[in-house]
Structure 1
Amino acid sequence: MKKNLMLLLIFTFCNQLAFSQKETTVLSIKKAENPIVINKNIYGHFAEHLGRCIYGGFFVGDTSKIPNTAGVRNDIIAALKELKIPNLRWPGGCFADTYHWKDGIGPKENRPTIVNQWWGGTTEDNSFGTHDFLNLCEVLGAEPYLAGNIGSGTVQELADWVQYVNFAGKSPMSDLRKKNGRNEPWKVKFWGVGNEAWGCGGNMTAEYYAGEYRKYATFMSDWENTGGITRIASGSNGADYNWTEVLMKNIPTNMIGGLGVHHYAVINWNKKGDAVDFSEDQYFETMKSALKMEELVTKHAAIMDKYDPAKKVTMAVDEWGGWYEVEKGTNPGFLYQQNTMRDAMIAGTTLNTFNNHADRVRMANLAQCVNVLQAVILTDEAKMILTPTYHVMKMYRVHQDAELLPVSFTSPMYTFEGKSLPAISASASKDKSGLVHISLVNVDSKKENTITIDLNELGLKNVTATILTSKKLQDYNSFEKPNAIEPKEFKGFKNAKGKLELTIPAFSVVVLEGK
């Protein structure tokens, strides 16, 4: 009896010991046989005339006491330059298909006002228009991405806009541009042909929109840019694969430079949940929605490959991010929400997905840049804060225009109430100077995870790391504590004989740099 009891105790102890030992994820990174470059435009942003994104966000006017350049806040300019933002999408969103660009040029006092019917029913005075936006992009060193109006506009209107901003010779529109103070064209490359044509852009069927796209694209001519302009079609709503099928089948590849995809991490469109006061169940469901991006990109890419095996057409995920209920006491139409470590998880995993699909995903735009949805910047009059999402984008900027290094691993699982998700997300690249960067995310809400990487495969010896984490998932940067969450040096790893072992804390983002 005593012998059996002793054996039972030993067996129980061994089981507990095995259970307590850390599960190790082996991450393999190899050089690609046919290298692919991670297009910097994956790290693009989005500025819509919505809530306080433009007015009270970017634009305060040149008479404001807040330091500005031509009415745009200097602190926002500096922050976005630090991110090295490659492109900026404007003026929408849903607003794009109600926007008539000629309302936003010429003397500001002569510009007509309109009602922003989509976002809060506010009066739009058009004081921030084409010149303001394109000059801002020049200051930022970012490519402008203009979304054209095909919902309530005309072919002539969009064709005139292209001529106004791009044509250097003598023409009615270039003469008008010069009259308004700009001699040289801006040479805008990226043009959206409508926005969400399946919804707020006109509630069109895929077949009808394909015909409209072909018509508009035909008259969007440009001889000034090398290689011409890149026309980007209004793409699918999430998993609407038929939309992608119809457009790729009916639009010749020589007429289309990019095809959009929109996907937001949302718990439930009818009950989105609070941006800060959320439960673990809500966190799990948000991450489930965010991680669906992998499936969406893979399946849309497979359809595009069928019609475009040479991968000439870019997949442009030109709206993505987390979407919650607005902050209490704010205008429901302004979509202002706080930004927590949950948003850092969304940003890190999504960008890893885009990096790993860089053969097809060559543009993306986080929604949105300032004061709207998953913003990188929040403002309160003269105050400004950088969100956890901003810090992830800054940590990941090292991947821009770097060579993709394929990663392979079997992720441990994040489990909650019988449901499971992959806990680890990763991507890697090698920049032009030879530095290797590995970005890792652990979405598990409670458990740290151990990862080993064979550095000898890439000939790496010296490694440093940066981490973004906090005590609680619900933590955020406030105007009272603007630096509560910010990147710090990470030392939770050891390098022994070319084998790197690191323990990444729960809900953390880590970027390794090796040479």
Structure 2
Amino acid sequence: MTTESTPSARVVIDLDVPGPTISRHLYGHFAEHLGRCVYGGFYVGESSELPHEAGLRLDVVEALRALNIPNLRWPGGCFADEYHWKDGIGPKEQRPGMINTHWGDVEENNHFGTHEFMALCELLGAEPYVNGNVGSGTVQEMSEWVEYLTRDGDSPMVRLRRENGRDEPWTVPFWGIGNEAWGCGGNLRADAYADLATRYATFLKDHGDNKLYRIAAGAADDDLAWTEALMKVISCLGCGKEPRNIFQAVSFHYYTVPGPWAHKGSATSFDVDDYYRTMLKAQDVERVIAGHSAVMDAYDPQRKVGLVLDEWGTWWDVEAGTNPGFLYQQNALRDALVASLHFDVFHRHAERLVMANIAQTVNVLQAMLLTDETGGLVLTPTYHVFEMNKGHHDATSVPVHVVDRPAAYSVDGKDLELVSASASVKDGAGLVSLTNLDPTSALDVVLDLRGAGLASSVGRILAAPKLHAHNTFAEPAAVVPSELDVTEDPRGLRVNLPPHSFATVSLRLV
């Protein structure tokens, strides 16, 4: 029952008004050769005493399979533009080492390479997203990588693959044409990279039934001029023609860094003002997506070209005592709410936004999992948001209108909405996602369900007493989902959300 001290909101959900499909690929992941994401995270080596399959850590695989990971981006990131794939194939003892100059200046032995990545994707049930080397590589090098992975029959690269133990080609749909070409990928001007992207894309061939989805490396944050430079090389402004089928998507990157770059703040030690600034920065991803979409609409009104956010998430100062080049950070309830807020935005823009990849999957930045060398494994609060939202994968988005909402909170002269929501339907079921961003007040929410009958409902809640609550190896269940009471209301359903919490309500429709 609503009281004077409990703010309330009404969320109108039009279950019979179909919107765009929410691609499962909006829930993609990213694994760079950075810190302990690959080595010590996914890959422990064949001599490890931990349970593994060909060096791939099986408890990590099992935990991630529960998320139904749709795709995995590899090998970077900045690392991609110094990675030469032929150094990572063949007998491990014969693979040359390299220096990872971007992340810690450590030596890599290349024991995790193309075959290991493909084996990992097969274990995860994920589609591979391979990011090629434009910065220090060649067109021929990337073209041959496509051939090595995807061609059948007979060719030089097919013969090389078979020498290395793989007869049949793999299916590898997603290919990134470099990474952050405006920065670590070459410090290029937008027009210069646009010319390179079209050249590289031209020589990345479809082999057999494998159809490539070529992704041009796009902007940092809201650099709309970069997106326009890429669209200009495949289309014309306002002409109404379909874009040239050279690359099929344009990417951009957006990190939630509310403070100055040199002092980003702690993942677990922060005050309520830090929290509000974080949520305002996370909310701003909607403006950025809308801006890139508007530019693309001018050149591609039929929305044939996809927009891909293949790096997103929170970025804090590294944990004390860890290598600053390894980007190891804890993951609190605050991070989980950044994720839930992002997904609501992604769902609203699903007609143009076709893929997103959180950075990163294990032990780096806003990770799903934290591991140690003794076999410890922690599911982070962000992991639970991904798991709770699985029902949105490839579902049809439906309109959601938050009315009678609490007043927005003013942060540095800008409004932060304290209630976020999205919903979808699929196969006679519905899923509603709700976030209460208020750090101090619970929220009484009426779900005003329209356009379909309701047979049953189940609620789940991700909450904790404190914003900085997080899971550790000693206390792995400090932030985990629990049952949420869902009651009937004349308009549909009613739930009460604790402060700073994320909830889902699953619906069985009739």
Alignment TM-score, normalising by the size of structure 1 = 0.94
How far apart are 1:313 and its partner, in Å? 1.1
Instruction: State the partner residue of 1:501.
Output: 494
- Quote the offset at 1:498 in angstroms: 4.2
Equivalent residue in structure 1 for 2:274, among 276, 282, 290: 282
Q: Is the 8 A contact 1:40 1:399 kept in 2?
A: yes
In structure 2, give the amino acid aligned to 1:76. Answer: V
1:371-410 deviations in Å (ceiling 9; x for gaps): 0000000001111110000000000011001111111124
Q: How does 1:284-303 map to 2 (within 5 A)?
A: 284-303=276-295
Equivalence for 1:236: 219
SS in 2 for 1:118: coil
User: Which of 248, 267, 272 matches 1:257?
Assistant: 248
Name the structure 2 match of 1:383.
376
Residues 255-282 of structure 1: CA distance to partner in whole angstroms, max 9, x if unpaired? 1211111000002212100111111111
Cα separation, 2, equivalents of 1:340 and 1:35 = 33
Question: Which one of 101, 105, 121 corresponds to residue 105 of structure 2?
Answer: 121
Q: Match for 2:81: what amino acid?
A: D
Q: Which residue of 2 aligns with 1:200?
A: 184
Tell me, yes or no, if the aligned pair for 1:210 and 1:251 is still in contact at 8 Å. Answer: no
Paired residue type of 1:480: A
How many residues align? The count is 495
Deviation at residue 223 of structure 1 after TM alignment? 2.7
Compare CA radii of gyration and give the structure with the larger one. Answer: 1
Partner of 1:403: 396
**What is the Cα deviation at residue 312 of structure 1?**
1.2
The Cα offsets for residues 353-372 of structure 1, whole Å up to 9 and x where unpaired, read as 11111111110000000000
Deviation per residue, 1:157-202 (Å, 9 max, x gap): 0000000000011000010000000001112100000000111000
**Is residue 2:257 matched to residue 1:266?**
yes
Amino acid at match of 1:450: D
Q: CA deviation at 1:431?
A: 1.6
What is aligned with 1:455?
A: 449
Identity of aligned residues (%): 48
Report if the CA contact (8 A) 1:248-1:307 is conserved. yes
Question: Which has the larger helix fraction?
Answer: 1
Give the Cα separation in 2 of the matches to 1:19 and 1:39: 39
Q: Which amino acid aligns with 2:456?
A: N
User: Is 1:415 aligned with 2:409?
Assistant: yes
Which residue, 92, 114, 137 being the options, matches 1:153? 137
1:11 aligned residue: none
Task: Report Cα offsets for 1:47-87 as digits up to 9, x if no partner.
Answer: 00000000111100111000001101100110111000000
Which of 142, 158, 161 matches 1:174? 158
8 Å contact 1:318–1:364 — kept in the other structure? yes
* Contact 1:379–1:385 (8 Å) recurs in 2: yes
* Contact 1:162-1:220 at 8 Å conserved across structures: yes
Confirm whether residue 475 of structure 1 aligns to residue 469 of structure 2.
yes
Question: What pairs with 1:73-152 in structure 2 (closer than 5 Å)?
Answer: 73-152=57-136
1:344 corresponds in structure 2 to 336
C-alpha contact (below 8 Å) 2:313/2:339 kept by paired residues: yes
Contact 1:43 1:363 survives alignment (8 Å): yes
Over 3 Å counting, the alpha-carbon distance change for 1:350 and 1:151 in structure 2 is same
8 Å CA contact retained: 1:284, 1:416: no
Superimposed CA distance per residue, residues 206-227 of structure 1 (whole angstroms, 9 cap, x where no aligned partner): 100000001100100113235x
Give 1:486's aligned amino acid: V
Residue aligning to 2:424: 429
Asked which structure has the greater RCO (Cα within 8 Å, sep 6+), the reply is 2
Pair 1:373 & 2:365 matched? yes
1:19 Cα deviation after fit = 9.9
Listed as ranges, the gaps of 5+ residues in structure 1 are 1-17
- Which of 319, 332, 335 does residue 327 from structure 1 map onto? 319
SS at match of 2:309: strand
What SS is found at the alignment partner of 2:191? helix
CA–CA distance in structure 1, aligned partners of residues 287 and 304 of structure 2: 21
Distance 1:490 1:128, change over 3 A: same
Q: Are residues 1:39 and 2:23 paired?
A: yes
Q: 1:344 to 1:511 in 2, by over 3 A?
A: same
8 Å contact 1:32–1:404 — kept in the other structure? no
Residue pair 2:15, 2:425 contacting (<8 A) in 1 also: no
For the Cα contact (< 8 Å) 1:97–1:194, is it kept in 2?
Answer: yes
- Residue by residue over 1:202-259, the C-alpha shift from the partner in whole angstroms, topping out at 9 and shown as x without a partner, is 0111100000001100100113235x20000101100101111111112353112111
- Equivalents in 2 of 1:326, 1:496: separation in Å? 46
Matches of 1:456 and 1:293 in 2, distance apart? 29
